Amino acid sequence: MMATNVSKQKVYQGLMYLFLVLIAFVSLFPFFWMVVSSTNTTADINQGKLSFGTALFDNLAKLSQAVDLPLIFWNTTKVSLLGTFLTLAIASLAGYGFEIYQSKLRDKVYNLLLLTMMIPFAALMIPLFTMMAKANLLDTHWAVVLPSIASVYIIFYFRQCTKAFPKELLDAARVDGVSEWRIFVYVFFPVMRSTYAAAFIITFMANWNNFLWPLIVLQSPETKTINLVLSSLSSAYFPDFGVVMVGTVVATLPTIAVFFAMQKQFVQGMVGSVK
């Protein structure tokens, strides 16, 4: 009886590892494919070649010829960072405000805000587009940044995290006569640095990876972000995959770098609000 139990457990363990290895392999393979393909010619990629080639610099040169790569990279960085800083500033104020100064009315407003998280973007994009057109902001980076600042999820995240902010600090500062705004800047902000870091990462990634909205409002080649460029390069009838793959590597490197540098905060930022 014992023996069969033990062997049964071994089988389960084996199956489990097999399952995990398989899933991990499938998860990682496209990354390997991306890096390998960026060194191969399009013909090789279409044939499914799995070894490193020698076409990397050739692909890179062709990509630089097709688009102004530094400018595109700068556009994406600018839009992502600007959007992220503004989101963090405004959403953290709101999250703090809703949690520290509670009132019945404000809680009702807050619940209404949470409900807006369910609104699909597709239902907003046409009025937003007309709004940007009227404000003469089409084809500018402000058109991309402005709507992205209204992030209810980040407000929600900051409110959840503010619950853990030690209220004694607040009371002590109030007794000392520090003004409410200075408390936010000089007490709350330094204490909650890790919350800001987590919110920074998830917002930055979302902005960097944004596609549909920039696709609608950015039209000229000088304003485009990297996702738009990649999408149009790969939608050619016979896409030059070698070139596109180099672009994909360039587009993915920053987010991977941020992820590895701040993995803990990233997971905390994702999950922290649900706990």
Span 85-124, contacts to another protein by CB under 8 A:
90-91, 93-94, 96-98, 100-106, 109, 113, 116, 118-124
The verdict on 34 binding another protein (CB under 8 A) reads yes
Of these, 7, 14, 28, 164, which contacts another protein (CB under 8 A)? 28
To another protein, the closest distance from the beta carbon of 65 in angstroms equals 19
How many residues lie near another protein (CB under 8 A)? 90
For residues 58 and 170, which CB has a smaller minimum distance to another protein in the complex? 170
- The tally of CA atoms less than 13 A away on the side-chain side of residue 4 is 1
Binding of another protein by 131 (CB under 8 A)? yes
Cα–Cα distances (Å) from 174 to 167, 168, 183, 275, in that order, read 11, 10, 8, 30
On whether the CB atoms of residues 183 and 170 are closer than 8 A, the answer is: yes
CA gap 49, 40 in Å, rounded: 8
- Out of 10, 57, 130, 221, which residue is the one contacting another protein (CB under 8 A)? 130
Q: What torsion do the CA atoms of 234, 238, 240, 245 make, to the nearest 10 degrees?
A: 40
Is residue 36 within 8 Å of residue 51, measured between CB atoms?
yes
Q: Can you list the positions of beta strands (E) in 18-154? A: none
| Residues of span 39-78 touching another protein by CB under 8 A | 45-48, 50
The answer to whether 135 contacts another protein (rule: CB under 8 A) is no
> Are 183 and 173 spatial neighbours (Cβ–Cβ below 8 Å)?
yes
Residue 126, Cβ density class (10 Å: 0-12 exposed, 13-18 middle, ≥19 buried): exposed
Amino acid at 75: N
What is the x/- site pattern for another protein, positions 253-272, by CB under 8 A? Answer: --xx-xx---x---x--xx-
**Position among 61, 126, 172, 191 found at the interface with another protein (CB under 8 A):** 126
User: Hey, CA dihedral for 5, 7, 11, 16, is it positive or negative?
Assistant: positive
Span from 9-17, 60-68, 136-144, 189-197 in contact with another protein (CB under 8 A) = 9-17
Nearest distance from C-beta of residue 39 to another protein, angstroms = 14
Binding to another protein by CB under 8 A, coded x per residue (else -) over 196-225, reads: ---------x--xx-xx---x---------
235 scored as a contact of another protein (CB under 8 A): yes
CB of 227 to another protein, least distance (A): 4
What is the end-to-end Cα distance of the chain in Å, rounded?
42
- Residue from 88, 155, 161, 243 in contact with another protein (CB under 8 A): 155
Q: Does 6 bind another protein (CB under 8 A)?
A: no
